[in-house]
A and B are shown apart, each in its own frame.
Chain A
Amino acid sequence: MSTAIQNSLSPPPVKTAEPVIVFENVSIDFEDNHVLEDVSFKLARGETKILFGVAGSGKSTILKMALGLVKPDNGRITVLGEEVTSLREQDLFDLRRRVGIVFQESALFDSLTVEENVAYRLLEEEHMPPGEVRPRVVEALRFVELENTLPLFPAELSGGMRRRVAIARAIITQPEVLLYDSPTGGLDPITSTRIIELIVKQRDVYQTSALMVTHRLQDAFTMAAHYFDSRSNQMLPITKDAPRDVHTTFLILREAKVIFDGTAGELAASEDEYIREYIA
């Protein structure tokens, strides 16, 4: 693990505030497979928690359960004070409007243009007049540096661009919580870094709480070791001289269970053989 990561992690993230997401003893099976078993964790306000685990370890399922898209077999999930596990589908829509999600494969509506995709929430939920929608869409797309793609369809974009449009769609209403499902999966290193920079920007500029699923360690370590500097408008490494708390923690899943939940410093100091091998 790089020394830059160690530098960033002096003060542990503040967890005193009321958590925005709470998983309590959550279990789910898919066709006789124990996908998650007694999973418990909390996401504090302003915190970014990065979920690790091998493919099929239930990382994406955690995000879907947080939104009520998938119901657990057992356990309780609370998001922004609402108990997701006890709400009916119709009652979940209000809660979902306060949470943004970036899907693994972007999940943009392929029959809508980039502009319509990004504006979706404003038009569907807030019934905003079209005159007010355009500036908001342009602003969100400018955040991901794609303001010139308004009339294009998702099929006309590259994988990285689609991912960035999905981020713009997720942040347009400035939700209280963001869920990222492998936002850099299948992308080249340069595009991945660009996406991570956007996520760091959202984390540090808007202080949005986030759960991020990834299997790319380098992305997670980049997030833990960098901060976004608004003045220079770029992501900069955290140095030993000026340590910062970027409120980023790690959660590792193995064989349906949480085997680690803590800061990057705690992760680096872990004696667990599997974890050491995982982060090596």
Chain B
Amino acid sequence: MELVSPTDYAKEWVLAVQHYSVLAARSLGNLFRKPFYMADTFQQADIIGVGSLPIVILTGFFTGAVLALQTSDTLQQFGSLSLTGQLVSFSMVRELGPVLTGLMVAGRNASGMASELGSMKVTEQIDAMRALGTDPTKKLVTPRVVASVVMLFFLSIISDLLGILGGFMVSYLLLGLDANQYWHSAYDKLEYKDVEMGLVKPLLFGYVIATIGCYYGLSAKGGTQGVGRATTQAVVAASVLILVVDFFITRFLMVIS
């Protein structure tokens, strides 16, 4: 295996960050420049949103359920089992709903985008598109970014609701909590800032997923092996970046509120 010098590695890394930043910025800039590919955007919304619905429902439901289960022991020790609803809703809405939905969609769609665009890249279809006078960032990237941002927003809400429902099922059926008590605690203690945090995060995560997936796809080289590599890198990078962004945005929103 050939060793890469640290300087070359650093240069490559800086160049990759530069290319990613340019692509990410152009994907937003295209929103203000014609043409707009509405049909492509709706198609992507269907693939990302409707296509991810089953995994988001399952993930959300069982996360809420296991959260209620895991915390019940601790809460019981303090005689606060009645707070289960509050704990589940608080955790789901502020953190777990958006993050787990983001990670699920990243696994499913960042890889899908990277492999689709990567295949197009290595078979010269991206060059053909450019040669035919179409800007691939407008036709391929921006619709995916818009669809990801919008759909992740709604998917997170669905995940939150299903998580709270999962927590309720465990609390009601296994822990013997009163249904009204659970829902009252889950709903009443939620504040505007909690909901705001839960709704801002998916917007950023959707943007990260789509731009990372498209970036790795459009950077793919080296045939089918290169496409496979791009797909793996896209999922890893998108997942890690979601967690990093999550930390900073959480801190930021906590400071401003």
- A-to-B contact residues, CB < 8 Å: 64, 67, 69, 89-90, 93-94, 96-97, 99, 101, 103-105, 107-110, 120-121, 124-125, 169
Contact = CB atoms under 8 A, between A and B. Distances in A.
Contact of B131 (A101, A105, A110, A124): A101
A278 to B, nearest CB: 27
B74 interface: no
Interface string B110-139: 000000000010011101111111110000
29 contacts: A64-B127, A69-B127, A69-B131, A89-B135, A93-B133, A93-B135, A96-B130, A96-B131, A96-B132, A97-B132, A97-B133, A99-B131, A101-B131, A103-B128, A103-B131, A107-B123, A107-B127, A107-B128, A108-B125, A108-B128, A109-B128, A109-B129, A120-B134, A121-B132, A121-B133, A124-B35, A124-B132, A124-B134, A125-B133
B133 A110 contact: no
Instruction: Return the 9 tightest CB-CB contacts between A and B, nearest first.
Output: A107-B128, A107-B124, A97-B133, A101-B131, A96-B133, A93-B133, A103-B124, A67-B131, A69-B127
B133 A94 contact: yes
A107 B120 CA distance: 9
A103 B127 contact: yes
A159 to B, nearest CB: 14
Contacts of A93: 130, 133-135
Contacts of B35: 124
A89 B129 CA distance: 13
A99 B130 CA distance: 11
A105 B123 contact: yes
Given A108-B125, A120-B134, 8 more contacts: A67-B130, A93-B134, A93-B135, A96-B130, A96-B132, A105-B123, A124-B134, A169-B132
Contact of A107 (B125, B133, B134, B135): B125
B134 A110 contact: no
Contacts of B134: 93, 120, 124-125
Contacts of B120: 109
Interface in B196-243: none
> What size tier do the contact residues of chain B reach?
10 to 19
Interface of B: 35, 120, 123-125, 127-135
Most chain B CB inside 10 Å of its own CB: which residue of A99, A103, A104: A103
Nearest to B131: A101
B18 to A, nearest CB: 15
Contacts of A99: 131
A97 B127 CA distance: 13
A133 to B, nearest CB: 15
Contact of A110 (B123, B130, B132, B135): B123
A67 B126 CA distance: 13
Nearest to B122: A105
A21 to B, nearest CB: 15
Contact of A124 (B124, B125, B133): B133
Contacts of B127: 64, 69, 103, 107
A94 to B, nearest CB: 7
B132 A69 contact: no
A104 B125 CA distance: 11
Nearest to B127: A69
Contacts of A103: 124, 127-128, 131
Most chain A CB inside 10 Å of its own CB: which residue of B125, B131, B133: B131
Contacts of A125: 132-134
A16 B166 CA distance: 80
B133 A69 contact: no
A102 to B, nearest CB: 10
B52 to A, nearest CB: 20
